[in-house]
């Protein structure tokens, strides 16, 4: 296996095993070898997390293993983040309020989204995880946001997304701000059902969908 392949596989295995030290070491190797940082995150770390999800579903892994893997992935992302290449797109940057909905603490996907949005020169207001609806609404008003990006990983908190859209209507700002959904619990069909503007499978698709939604603005 080529050196690059070995490092990416190392990242994947380290996330799967929840080995923080080895994850950091592979992330640093990726930088030294000038491996594309986004590729290292997606084909290394995120792939490892996908395997973790499968193991959890097969009951080979439980919450403690998930937490260790999340810690390992976060450690690698901290090292790789500054090296994610910025695009040369000079068009006006969309303002995006981003967060994980109330009741949900899965924030790894959202962290990747932030990295990729910022690499595309979007202005991101990251509200973090477990974010109450009114915080999204207030931040959107305060910043004059073009988009609210909602991350949702558990089905029990999915209804929050519909409540947010209702709230935006009540406040009279639904026409000014687009709503995009992402995360394991969301889907294109669900997004259409609740009247969101878009759903994205991953961060890159999110960038494309947002640019499309704001075309001509
Ligand atoms: C790691 C993990 C955890 C960690 C989270 C750590 C952290 N800081 O994030 C911990 C251990 C805390 C955890 C807890 C729980 N978890 Co959990 N967890 C996972 C796991 C294995 C991986 C999630 C992840 O980080 N993936 C990695 C990222 C990179 O994934 P990604 O989806 O590819 O991300 C991309 C897209 O989603 C998209 N995207 C994401 N957000 C957004 C937003 C926008 C705007 C856009 C455009 C795109 C976008 O872009 C991302 C980057 O490209 C999933 C399994 C799964 N299949 O998702 C279960 C999973 C989500 N968890 C699950 C459950 C049930 C729980 C618990 C309820 C367990 C419990 N009994 O306590 C708790 C919930 C706690 C809570 N209130 O939130 C279930 C949810 C099932 C359901 N249908 O509701 C899953 C699906 C596992 C399963 N198969 O049962 N979990």
Distance in angstroms (rounded) separating the CA atoms of residues 179 and 166: 12
- Contact, 93 vs 147, CB < 8 A? no
The finding on whether 75 has its CB within 6 A of some atom of ligand 1 is no
What is the distance in A from the centroid of ligand 1 to the CA of 183?
Answer: 7
Residue by residue, pLDDT tens for the chain (217 residues) are: 588 899 999 999 999 999 999 999 999 999 999 999 999 999 999 999 999 999 999 999 999 999 999 999 999 999 999 999 887 776 778 999 999 999 999 999 999 999 999 988 899 999 999 999 999 999 999 999 999 999 999 999 999 999 999 999 999 999 999 999 999 999 999 999 999 999 999 999 999 999 999 987 7
Distance in angstroms (rounded) separating the CA atoms of residues 217 and 205: 20
The finding on whether 109 has its CB within 6 A of some atom of ligand 1 is yes
Which residue's C-alpha comes closest to atom 30 of ligand 1? 109
The finding on whether 202 has its CB within 6 A of some atom of ligand 1 is yes
Give per-residue burial for 16-45: e unless 16+ CB within 10 Å, then b.
bbbbbebbbbbbebbeeeebbbbebbbbbb
């Amino acid at each position: 296996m080529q050196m690059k392949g070995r490092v990416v596989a190392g990242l994947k295995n380290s996330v799967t095993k929840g080995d923080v030290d080895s994850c950091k070491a592979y992330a640093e190797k990726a930088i030294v070898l000038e491996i594309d940082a986004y590729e290292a995150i997606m084909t290394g770390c995120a792939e490892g997390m996908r395997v973790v999800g499968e193991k959890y579903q097969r009951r080979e892994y439980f919450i403690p293993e998930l937490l260790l893997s999340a810690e390992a992935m976060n450690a690698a992302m901290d090292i790789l983040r500054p090296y994610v290449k910025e695009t040369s797109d000079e068009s006006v940057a969309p303002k995006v309020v981003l967060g994980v909905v109330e009741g949900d603490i899965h924030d790894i996907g959202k962290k990747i989204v932030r990295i990729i949005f910022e690499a595309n020169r979007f202005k991101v207001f990251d509200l973090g995880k477990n974010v109450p609806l009114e915080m999204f609404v207030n931040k959107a008003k305060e910043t004059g946001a073009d988009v609210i990006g909602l991350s949702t990983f558990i089905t029990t908190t999915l209804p929050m997304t519909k409540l947010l859209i209702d709230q935006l209507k009540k406040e009279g700002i639904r026409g000014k701000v687009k709503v995009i959904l992402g995360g394991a619990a969301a889907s294109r069909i669900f997004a259409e059902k609740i009247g969101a503007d878009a759903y994205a499978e991953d961060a890159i698709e999110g960038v494309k969908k947002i640019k499309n939604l704001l075309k001509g603005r």
